[in-house]
Chain A
Amino acid sequence: MTFTREKDFGTPEKHGETVSLTIDGQQVSVPAGTSIMRAAAMVDTAIPKLCATDSLESFGSCRMCLVEIEGRKGYPASCTTPVSPDMVVRTETEKLRKLRRGVMELYISDHPLDCLTCSANGDCELQDVAGSVGLRDVRFGYEGASHLEGCKDESNPYFTFDPAKCIVCSRCVRACDEVQGTLALTVDGRGFASKISASQDEGFLASECVSCGACVQACPTSALIENTVIEKGTPERAVVTTCAYCGVGCTFRAEMRGEDLVRMVPWKQGKANHGHSCVKGRFAWGYAQHRDRVLNPMVRASVDEPWREVSWDEAIAHVASEFRRIQNAYGTRAIGGVTSSRCTNEETFLVQKLIRQGFGNNNVDTCARVCHSPTGYGLKTTFGTSAGTQDFDSVEQADVVLVIGANPTDGHPVFGSRLKKRLRQGAKLIVIDPRRIDLVRSPHVEAGYHLPLRPGTNVALLTAMAHVIVTEGLVDEAYVRERCDGEAYGEWAAFVSEPARSPEAIEDLIGVPAADVRAAARLYATGGGKSGGRGAIYYGLGVTEHSQGSSTVMAIANLAMATGNVGKPGTGVNPLRGQNNVQGSCDMGSFPHELPGYRHVSDSATRALFEADWGTALDAEPGLRINNMLDAATDGTFKGIFIQGEDILQSDPNTTHVAAGLAAMECVVVQDLFLNETANYAHVFLPGSTFLEKDGTFTNAERRIQRVRKVMEPKNGYADWEVVQLVANAMGLGWTYTHPSQVMDEIARLTPTFAGVNYDVLEQRGSVQWPMNAAAPEGTPTMHIDHFVRGKGLFVVTDYVPTDERTGPRFPLLLTTGRILSQYNVGAQTRRTPNEAWHAEDRLEIHPHDAENRGIRDGDWVSLRSRAGETSLRALITDRVAPGVVYTTFHHPDTQANVITTDFSDWATNCPEYKVTAVQVAPSNGPSEWQKSYRAQAEQSRRIEPAEPAE
């Protein structure tokens, strides 16, 4: 079958009462407000069109879609004309054919004619429409004024803009405006001189363009086209799968030629992204084929030695025998493992099963430990479920949005775009962040209030907002009475009402004017000042990665409950999850104290269920968290670890401590795509497979379970779930899975919230949101609708306790960390793509005052020192950060940001306090001693011994 794009109905879907009309003699019933074009498309009548596409509002510029309507004069455009009852429309008449041909004749009088060698050949709407209108002669000739001399813009690493191929339909401009919300593109000039321009005609790379790809997707010709299509040709088939970057969980059509991925195009039916994407998911998949990928298993006796490539059999046998040896020598609990939030639910489930069933202990942890573990704790305590309350569509009904400790336009860009769209429609915004993130003020978006608090004072600020809400009588008392635990509410209300919690009392502590805190609290509590207005809270790691991370999550939950903002669309408490499957890895029992479905290991009924299914007794004692495993290793009681798809050396706090722990172990097994930083301390390396090479499911931040589909064979030979099974069987577990769907069936069998999930259902519906079971046969877009999962919502008193990490004369500045749009997490993937064009190094953002005091100029190397360590990077002087605060990203291993971060962590979950470190900054000459020695050790450790040539 030849390649086709997804069906394009021309204009967006509408919802309204049904209207019936006649199109070309055919009776059609559609919702009121639907365009004639869309109504026709719904009965497979394809009215020619060029400027219309169903992701954008109708525009009416190309004039190809003209129709005749009985009783109306002229030839209205079908894209901009809504249906009306009993309308009689004709889409093909002699007159219409002549008009369309006349317009097409004009187009082609100013268009290149080399269709056969065009990169969009076969995938070009202009070509299709020229064919459909039967254009045979361009009577104007080809020698009139034209735009054929325009130079290509090849500055963007992923796509090319060829102005000669442009038909000025404005689809790219509108996609940038309406879908992405960056407004980077415009039509420059007017009349015949009109042309597409990125920013002030600066070229795509230098412009404000964020390379989300919406313009490329919208382009009907090859004016904007993926470089991979230019290189490889058009795709011949498409497989729908889920992005492996952030927790938004965008679904894509992986468009293929054979086993070669040509491009990733966001899937319009994807419930999380509705056909939108960001630069990472859309373009930055080249790491999957990167030459750095390790494709053969490797083993070494000591980390001083070079790696030795071995067969899979040898590697697996070695792992099994080492683990068993260590357990025999040091005890059952001397080994453990780390599951990956980048792997599938099925793989994560199997790793914890390997540990619980095969290792015989609960020493399993996951990266959520260092990101959203306080979310799990906080929301389970207050609401009863360790997950966000809404779906992403919910934001479309929010009237006021409070964003705290999150930077959606960089960290969760597709959600960021949807949020900006809602803000452009008039919803109000409150931003609580030490740094002036883009949302605070960007084109057509401005926060009503930005509260740039001092890092580490979230709880004090949120409690002060609660003080305002309670003392000013803004509590939704009926809601609280009906839905929440009254006694706990009373205690909490009394606590927050104390004068010491008022915005005025903490003004100096948090560094935000009390009046702003009061106004922001009122705005949130009153639903944006609109009667019946709905308030939603979105938060990220700026909430959780603190010594009071769990308290902050609960303080947020308190605010939402007090204002009645849980249990309906447009409201809720919404953690923005960092990694593609961090929700899923938590759901799958990756924590040492919980079996899948967040059930405590000490609960014997639950344990009995698993024991019966798995045929083995399970340990009733919670196992070790990552940092406890590392502590135990330095103490000499923990000796072996299996780490799948995580780079704890780079991502976990206090790098020297992590290195010491790993160095103290006898068998460190790392499974990854690349020789990551942790592998520097590994004894066995098992090559990983990419999301393109396996079947499975990811669960995004809205609890949505979506299929990951294999589009190519694993280059390393096995999908990750198969590797886990090989290890398990080498350890004698006798697993017999032949497809991940069987793993999901097991999950469903053992986990009540997943009872209704299976691959057939996912195939039919595209995705489902857990809980999905007999009580919620359709899944659960919005949680806690009639009552909280725990019964009554629980208010928790959140007393502000300052972190032990304090500034002082030696370390007068506060360092906070974050990320940037083009890079992802520790950068293992994105650094191996052309995304480096946007962010080739981590920089230290410092306020001009602080820089001047220290004699630092923009771009200078500076040393960054904390109580834990020292590193160096280059300064970026900006007033995005307040005086006294510095900021950096952690995408590059050379930066070693976690050499600086301390051992302080959340009181409830040990989530590290990445977001607050007292530091000093001073001019320096370049990389620190630690960075140099680290680099040397890494190089030494990454050597691979050449394989003996086969004779």
Chain B
Amino acid sequence: MTRVFISRDMASMALGADAVADAFTKAGCDVVRTGSRGLFAIEPLVEVETEAGRIAYGPVGPEDTARVLDGSHPNRIGQIEEHPFFSGQQRFTFSRCGVIDPLSIADYAANGGWKGLEAAYALSPQAVVDAVKASGLRGRGGAGFPTGIKWQTVLDAAADEKFIICNADEGDSGTFADRMLMEGDPFHLIEGMAIAGHAVGASHGYIYIRSEYPFAVETMRAAIARSAAKIAPFTLEVRVGAGSYVCGEETSLLESIEGKRGEVRAKPPLPAIEGLWGKPTVINNVLSLSAVPFILSEGPQAYADVGFGRSRGTMPIQIAGNVKNGGLYEIGFGVTLGELVNQIGGGTASGRPVRAVQVGGPLGAYLPPSMFHLPFDYEAFAEAGGLIGHAGITVFDDTVDMARMARFAMEFCAAESCGKCTPCRIGSTRGTELIDRIMAKAPRAAGTLETLPQIRNARTAARTHDEEIDLLRDLCDTMKHGSLCALGGFTPYPVLSALDHFPEDFGASPALTEAAE
């Protein structure tokens, strides 16, 4: 019986992978459902096991079984590793994703699984923490804080109980790496968390998954059940979010797990010292924890050898939006933005020129093509007024209205604000109203109340357009420096970057750089 491999990843299924799998089963094939390889232009992807290795075809429809099985299908790719989208990748974290049956613990072990955990168990907790420090791994959730230092703090904190929390509340627009890994290689995350548990002395872990990821929830739960004996006495459980973006912020995530309103906590105290239920807690992103097995099995130096500047190792970059080759691309830091968008991403799907890309989710800056020379690196992006975040890139062509995008940032903040701090709670709503006026070119006239004789201090003259823009900048300043967490604090990034790089969309003359041409 011929073995074929077809993804059961949520994105692949959205593209019709289930019907394709059914068709191959009917055709008498032994269908192995895997995770996704990560390039959605070729999904549904079918890989047929042959003497010459796994031969890939994609995209494939349910009517294509015969032509795939006899090798005549026009979308024959050959060995997937040789496809240009994959040949340049450095898959440290996603090495098994799309290759194995995600819930086969035997496949996992046969493909290098548990090596990191076994290496960790042979070391003292401090030695494990030292290895993570030496690897230069930084938090992949967005903040880029050195993971080893966080673990050291938790290891050093004296407590009767400690916790490992995996933040899988992947809410940034255009990001899907966490989901792909949980659906495609769940034991990998479990291994990373078990290593973390050993390293800091935690006996229990939580995986906090957003409710929009039902397949990931199901897969992780099944994988936890199957690997319980392997990671014992460390135990794991899945907690499902309730639709709040801000619960991806680590302290409101803690509140959510504790059963409370998803509201941000002030820091200090750091979660590493007083986290879940007041106990020392490691909170790491899926990708941070999943980088750890490689570091332990291959050694920290192997990881640190890859990268750029202070950004070491690989980053699974997610390319989305109006782009030809949408998908996940894992590579060492240092690749330029232009390479990612134009070469790897293949430019826009619409074929029109790229006007802007947003890097780092809805709170990331909009960057024009003039900044495509930027290397993918925490420091380089920060210096350029942007952020890497969770490494999602959303591409826009020249039909985009950047004032609308700025408004969307404020609107998103207003919709997702937890309501605790004032700049975010009220500022985001005022920001939306203000950008509406700016877009309508209708600066605010004095209101009824302001013109009453009882009100002496209010200005009665109408505001000018420039004054409204100044007010928007002031508001962004208040939100950036005054907000309690990154939601309110980073909302100004997309707003100000749109305003700075695309002033013409806000009713001003075009930016100098472009005007000079």
Binding site for B on A (CB under 8 A): 58-63, 66, 74-75, 77, 79-82, 95, 98-99, 102-103, 106-107, 109-110, 113, 136-145, 167-168, 170, 186-187, 189-194
Q: Which residues of A contact B429 (CB under 8 A)?
A: 144-145, 191-192
Which single residue of chain A is at the shortest CB-CB distance from B445? Answer: A141
B478–A61 contact, CB under 8 A? no
Which single residue of chain A is at the shortest CB-CB distance from B424? Answer: A191
Q: How far is the CB of A427 from chain B (nearest CB, A)?
A: 15
Q: Which residues of A contact B246 (CB under 8 A)?
A: 190
Q: Does B1 contact A (CB under 8 A)?
A: no
A806 to B228, CA, bound (A): 59
Can you report 23 A-B residue pairs in the complex whose CB atoms are below 8 A from each other? A63-B421, A63-B422, A63-B482, A80-B267, A82-B268, A98-B477, A102-B478, A106-B426, A106-B478, A107-B422, A137-B459, A138-B458, A140-B430, A141-B444, A141-B447, A142-B450, A145-B433, A190-B261, A190-B262, A190-B417, A191-B424, A192-B414, A192-B419
A82 to B430, CA, bound (A): 32
Which single residue of chain A is at the shortest CB-CB distance from B482? Answer: A63
Q: Which residues of B contact A82 (CB under 8 A)?
A: 268
Q: Does B122 contact A (CB under 8 A)?
A: no
Q: Which of A77, A107, A168, A192 contacts B428 (CB 8 A)?
A: A192
Q: Does B471 contact A (CB under 8 A)?
A: yes
Q: How far is the CB of A172 from chain B (nearest CB, A)?
A: 14
B419–A77 contact, CB under 8 A? no
Q: How far is the CB of A110 from chain B (nearest CB, A)?
A: 6
A140–B419 contact, CB under 8 A? no
A190–B266 contact, CB under 8 A? no
In the A-B complex, list the 10 residue pairs whose CB atoms are closest, starting with the nearest.
A194-B419, A60-B266, A102-B478, A191-B417, A80-B266, A106-B426, A63-B482, A192-B429, A143-B447, A190-B419
Which single residue of chain B is at the shortest CB-CB distance from A189? Answer: B419
A278 to B458, CA, bound (A): 44
Q: Which residues of B contact A109 (CB under 8 A)?
A: 426, 430
A194 to B434, CA, bound (A): 21
A107–B426 contact, CB under 8 A? yes
A110–B426 contact, CB under 8 A? yes
Q: How far is the CB of A62 from chain B (nearest CB, A)?
A: 6
Q: How far is the CB of A35 from chain B (nearest CB, A)?
A: 10
B261–A103 contact, CB under 8 A? no
Binding site for A on B (CB under 8 A): 244, 246, 261-263, 266-268, 414-430, 433-434, 444, 446-450, 455, 457-459, 463, 467, 471, 474-475, 477-478, 481-484
B267–A190 contact, CB under 8 A? no
A113–B455 contact, CB under 8 A? yes
A486 to B312, CA, bound (A): 73
Q: How far is the CB of A583 from chain B (nearest CB, A)?
A: 38
A74–B426 contact, CB under 8 A? no
B458–A137 contact, CB under 8 A? yes
Inter-chain pairs besides A63-B422, A103-B482, A106-B426, 16 sampled, C-beta below 8 Å: A77-B266, A77-B484, A99-B481, A102-B475, A106-B427, A106-B430, A139-B467, A144-B430, A144-B433, A167-B422, A186-B261, A189-B419, A191-B414, A191-B428, A192-B417, A194-B420
Q: Which of A58, A103, A141 contacts B266 (CB 8 A)?
A: A58
Q: How far is the CB of B439 from chain A (nearest CB, A)?
A: 16
A451 to B483, CA, bound (A): 50
Which single residue of chain A is at the shortest CB-CB distance from B427? Answer: A106
Q: Which residues of B contact A59 (CB under 8 A)?
A: 266, 420
Q: How far is the CB of B210 from chain A (nearest CB, A)?
A: 16
Q: How far is the CB of A949 from chain B (nearest CB, A)?
A: 53
A58 to B268, CA, bound (A): 10
A63–B423 contact, CB under 8 A? yes
B484–A61 contact, CB under 8 A? yes
Given contact pairs A99-B482, A191-B416, A192-B414, A106 touches B268 in the complex (Cβ within 8 A): no
A136 to B457, CA, bound (A): 7
A109 to B419, CA, bound (A): 16
Which single residue of chain A is at the shortest CB-CB distance from B262? Answer: A190
B425–A191 contact, CB under 8 A? yes
A184 to B57, CA, bound (A): 61
Which single residue of chain A is at the shortest CB-CB distance from B261? Answer: A187
Q: Which of A58, A144, A194 contacts B425 (CB 8 A)?
A: A194
A191–B419 contact, CB under 8 A? yes
Q: Which residues of B contact A143 (CB under 8 A)?
A: 447-449
A106 to B474, CA, bound (A): 11
Q: Which residues of A contact B483 (CB under 8 A)?
A: 63
Q: Which residues of B contact A141 (CB under 8 A)?
A: 444, 446-447, 450
B422–A137 contact, CB under 8 A? no
Given contact pairs A98-B477, A102-B482, A168 touches B447 in the complex (Cβ within 8 A): no
Q: Which of A80, A82, A186 has the most CB of B within 10 A?
A: A80
A637 to B355, CA, bound (A): 108
Q: Which residues of B contact A186 (CB under 8 A)?
A: 261
Q: How far is the CB of B440 from chain A (nearest CB, A)?
A: 14
Q: Which residues of A contact B428 (CB under 8 A)?
A: 191-192
Q: Which of A61, A95, A113, A191 has the most CB of B within 10 A?
A: A191
Q: Which residues of A contact B422 (CB under 8 A)?
A: 61-63, 103, 106-107, 167
Q: Which of A66, A98, A102, A137 has the most CB of B within 10 A?
A: A102
Q: Which residues of A contact B423 (CB under 8 A)?
A: 63, 102-103, 106
Q: Which residues of A contact B481 (CB under 8 A)?
A: 66, 74-75, 95, 99
Q: Which residues of A contact B482 (CB under 8 A)?
A: 63, 66, 75, 99, 102-103
A145 to B428, CA, bound (A): 11
Q: Which residues of A contact B433 (CB under 8 A)?
A: 140, 144-145
Which single residue of chain A is at the shortest CB-CB distance from B448? Answer: A143
B457–A137 contact, CB under 8 A? yes
Which single residue of chain B is at the shortest CB-CB distance from A136? Answer: B457
Q: How far is the CB of A103 from chain B (nearest CB, A)?
A: 5
Q: Which residues of B contact A168 (CB under 8 A)?
A: 419, 425
Q: How far is the CB of A671 from chain B (nearest CB, A)?
A: 53
A460 to B427, CA, bound (A): 65
Q: Which residues of B contact A139 (CB under 8 A)?
A: 463, 467, 471, 474
Q: Which residues of B contact A103 (CB under 8 A)?
A: 422-423, 478, 482
Q: Which residues of A contact B418 (CB under 8 A)?
A: 190-191, 194
Q: How far is the CB of A428 from chain B (nearest CB, A)?
A: 16
A136 to B450, CA, bound (A): 13
B449–A113 contact, CB under 8 A? yes
Which single residue of chain A is at the shortest CB-CB distance from B463? Answer: A139
Q: Which residues of A contact B459 (CB under 8 A)?
A: 137
Which single residue of chain A is at the shortest CB-CB distance from B470? Answer: A139
Q: How far is the CB of B266 from chain A (nearest CB, A)?
A: 3
Q: How far is the CB of B464 from chain A (nearest CB, A)?
A: 12
A137 to B463, CA, bound (A): 12
Q: Which residues of B contact A62 (CB under 8 A)?
A: 421-422
Q: Which residues of B contact A192 (CB under 8 A)?
A: 414, 417, 419, 425-426, 428-429
A140–B478 contact, CB under 8 A? no
B419–A99 contact, CB under 8 A? no
Q: Which residues of A contact B430 (CB under 8 A)?
A: 106, 109, 140, 144
Q: How far is the CB of B114 from chain A (nearest CB, A)?
A: 38
B419–A187 contact, CB under 8 A? yes
Which single residue of chain A is at the shortest CB-CB distance from B267? Answer: A80
Q: Which residues of B contact A79 (CB under 8 A)?
A: 266
Q: Which residues of A contact B427 (CB under 8 A)?
A: 106
Q: How far is the CB of B350 from chain A (nearest CB, A)?
A: 34
B447–A140 contact, CB under 8 A? no
Q: Which residues of B contact A75 (CB under 8 A)?
A: 481-482
Q: Which residues of A contact B444 (CB under 8 A)?
A: 141
Q: How far is the CB of B176 from chain A (nearest CB, A)?
A: 25
Q: Which residues of B contact A193 (CB under 8 A)?
A: 419
A106 to B422, CA, bound (A): 8
Q: How far is the CB of A627 from chain B (nearest CB, A)?
A: 54
Q: How far is the CB of A522 from chain B (nearest CB, A)?
A: 21
A48 to B263, CA, bound (A): 23
Q: Which residues of B contact A167 (CB under 8 A)?
A: 422
A748 to B426, CA, bound (A): 61
Which single residue of chain A is at the shortest CB-CB distance from B457? Answer: A136
Q: How far is the CB of B399 from chain A (nearest CB, A)?
A: 30
A74 to B477, CA, bound (A): 12
